Amino acid sequence: MADQAVVTAGSAHSADQTRLPVVVVGAGGMGRAWIATVLRSRSARLVGVVDVVDGAAASALADLVPEESQADVRTGTDMLQVARAAGAAAIIDVTIPEAHHPVTADALHAGLPVLGEKPCAATLTQALSLAGHSETTGQLFMVSQSRRHNPHLREAGRLARELGGAGIVATRFSRAPHFGGFREQMVQPLIVDMAIHAFDAARVLVEGTPVSVTATSYNPAWSWYDGDAAATVVVRYDSGAVHTFEGSWCSPGAETSWNGEWALSCPTGTVHWDGEGVPVTVPGAGTDGGGGQDPVPGRAPSEDALWELDSSLEVFCQAVRGRGEPDSEVHENIWTQAIVEAAVRSAAEERTVHLSEILDAALEAARELDRADGRSSALEQWDAARSWTGDAARSWNTVGAGGPAV
Ligand SMILES: NC(=O)c1ccc[n+]([C@@H]2O[C@H](COP(=O)([O-])OP(=O)(O)OC[C@H]3O[C@@H](n4cnc5c(N)ncnc54)[C@H](O)[C@@H]3O)[C@@H](O)[C@H]2O)c1
């Protein structure tokens, strides 16, 4: 199998050597979206596609890469073989969540920075472990939370800051998709697979660090999901801000956008965002009470603004080149994963869960995981506080414009 693991249609040489050479790992639905994203990127170029299923990478290549460029892209089933043969400088991990930990850890230890699809890993324990592997190797691991890269969301945050900062944030999410497949068998499909986006987006909008989560989940009688397709989740922050997510994946009729509908209550007014268009400000009437004034639209994004995956990839490429620290670098993104895990536990145990509780337990388990693995002891240096402050200055190896890392 080893000698079949790398298939080269031709030279891996590209006309544009200044863009970061990347390999996309995982050629499923989202992997294909990432291949298309890299193909239109001004900062990255596709040099390889990998999938454990024999032929899947080649099939994605044939479907998505223009025929004249296919010779520049290697395909195979073994990530490190393809990366080396292709001269890759970075990996985009779009595998299933269960594979995120091994794929990302192997890439980091091979000297390759990683841009990984959400979630960071299948469990909070594995996510903490990956933060340790990133520290040990000195390689950047950024988690792509694509929905935080929405210019309208950023504008909603800016408007809220103008009104004194969001203190009460409400997300209403209501859709009725029939996915089939794994989501309809999951115990907590909405919280784990969908609400993670809203939890992460709220972190863009409010000041502070999440402290505790109180969640209720349920499954209406008409639901076509095995697990709980609806939930209400309350996330409290140390700044005093509270984010409430109220969502359903089995509510036909008046559906919201995929981003949900947002209301941000601030000291001097409210910001409304429908999840699709430009957010609006509704200023308060002043100290005499009464209703608000007419809505004032926020700024529309510039025509050349990058959205979602395109923006996420650009931020990653710049960070790998030593320009800027991405806000969803692994240490920062762990908070989003912790909210998800706390919400699942809160719903199961019908109690408020403090993030410090699950982070402490996950840190201990991650140390065990890393001891068994033997490649990273970085977490042994973490004191308990560091596991939830997450605000230390980060640095990582950078790749010069001239050349790949392997
Ligand atoms: N940001 C978003 O809006 C969004 C949307 C959908 C999916 N996702 C995320 O993207 C990731 C992939 O989801 P998907 O829907 O494409 O799943 P998928 O099942 O369609 O594809 C995953 C692919 O990874 C491959 N794979 C599994 N283990 C591998 C390994 N060890 N090495 C190489 N390839 C491996 C599988 O063979 C499969 O082809 C998940 O983490 C998911 O949560 C994000």
Tell me the pLDDT tens digit for each residue of 142-194.
999 999 999 999 999 999 999 999 999 999 999 999 998 888 999 999 999 99
233 Cβ contact partners less than 8 Å away, ≥ 6 residues apart: 191, 195, 199, 213, 214, 215, 216, 244, 245, 343, 346
In angstroms, the CA 63 to CA 69 distance is 12
Which is more confidently placed, 14 or 147?
Answer: 147
Structure confidence at residue 181 (pLDDT) = 85
Is the beta carbon of 32 within 6 A of some atom in ligand 1?
no
Confidence band for 3, pLDDT divided at 50, 70 and 90 = very low
Tell me the pLDDT tens digit for each residue of 269-297.
999 999 999 999 999 876 655 666 889 99
CA of 19 to the centre of ligand 1 (A): 25
3-state secondary structure of 114: strand
Confidence band for 403, pLDDT divided at 50, 70 and 90 = very low
In angstroms, the CA 400 to CA 160 distance is 38
CA of 192 to the centre of ligand 1 (A): 15
% pLDDT > 70, the chain: 90
Structure confidence at residue 318 (pLDDT) = 95
Q: Crossing angle of helices 97-109/124-137, nearest 10°?
A: 10
In angstroms, the CA 127 to CA 331 distance is 9
Asked if residue 352 is part of any domain, the answer here is no
Asked if residue 56 is part of any domain, the answer here is no
In angstroms, the CA 288 to CA 290 distance is 7
Asked if residue 69 is part of any domain, the answer here is no
Report residue 151 CA to chain centroid gap: 16
Asked if residue 104 is part of any domain, the answer here is no
Q: Which of 63, 117, 153 is the pocket-test mutation for ligand 1 (most atoms within 8 Å of CB)?
A: 117
Chain-wide mean pLDDT for the chain?
A: 92
The residue-averaged pLDDT of 134-138 equals 96
Confidence band for 8, pLDDT divided at 50, 70 and 90 = very low
Phi, psi of 217, deg, nearest 5: -130, 155
Tell me the pLDDT tens digit for each residue of 248-263.
999 999 999 999 999 9
- Give the count of beta carbons closer than 10 Å to the beta carbon of residue 39: 15
Report residue 216 CA to chain centroid gap: 24
Residue located nearest, by CA, to atom 2 of ligand 1: 146
- The yes-or-no verdict on residue 394 having pLDDT over 70 is yes
Residue pair 405/399 in contact (Cβ under 8 Å)? The answer is yes
Is the beta carbon of 73 within 6 A of some atom in ligand 1?
no
| CA contacts within 13 A on the Cβ side of 343 | 35
The residue-averaged pLDDT of 116-132 equals 96
Which is more confidently placed, 325 or 128?
Answer: 128
Is the beta carbon of 30 within 6 A of some atom in ligand 1?
yes
Assigned token pair, 385 = 């506080």
Structure confidence at residue 325 (pLDDT) = 83
- The yes-or-no verdict on residue 13 having pLDDT over 70 is no
Which is more confidently placed, 384 or 84?
Answer: 84
The residue-averaged pLDDT of 293-315 equals 95
Q: Number of structural domains, the chain? A: 1
Confidence band for 395, pLDDT divided at 50, 70 and 90 = confident
The residue-averaged pLDDT of 193-220 equals 97
Residue pair 280/296 in contact (Cβ under 8 Å)? The answer is yes
Give the chain's count of helices (H) and strands (E): 12, 16
Asked if residue 378 is part of any domain, the answer here is no
Instruction: Please give the angle made by the CA atoms of 104, 106 and 110, to the nearest 5 degrees.
Output: 115
Strands 168-174 and 261-266: antiparallel
The residue-averaged pLDDT of 53-71 equals 97
Is the beta carbon of 165 within 6 A of some atom in ligand 1?
no
Tell me the pLDDT tens digit for each residue of 327-379.
899 999 999 999 999 999 999 999 999 999 999 999 999 999 999 999 999 99
Asked if residue 256 is part of any domain, the answer here is yes
Structure confidence at residue 390 (pLDDT) = 57
Asked if residue 360 is part of any domain, the answer here is no
The residue-averaged pLDDT of 65-93 equals 97
**Amino acid, res. 390:** G
Q: Which domain holds residue 241?
A: 150-297
In DSSP notation, 151-208 reads HHHHHHHHHHHHTT--SEEEEEEE------GGGGT-SSHIIIIIIHHHHHHHHHHS-S
Is the beta carbon of 94 within 6 A of some atom in ligand 1?
yes
Q: Is the dihedral of CA 243, 249, 252, 256 positive or negative?
A: positive
CA of 117 to the centre of ligand 1 (A): 8
Query: Any idea what the CATH number is for the domain that residue 241 is in?
Result: 3.30.360.10
Structure confidence at residue 288 (pLDDT) = 59
Structure confidence at residue 289 (pLDDT) = 56
Asked if residue 228 is part of any domain, the answer here is yes
Assigned token pair, 383 = 């004191």
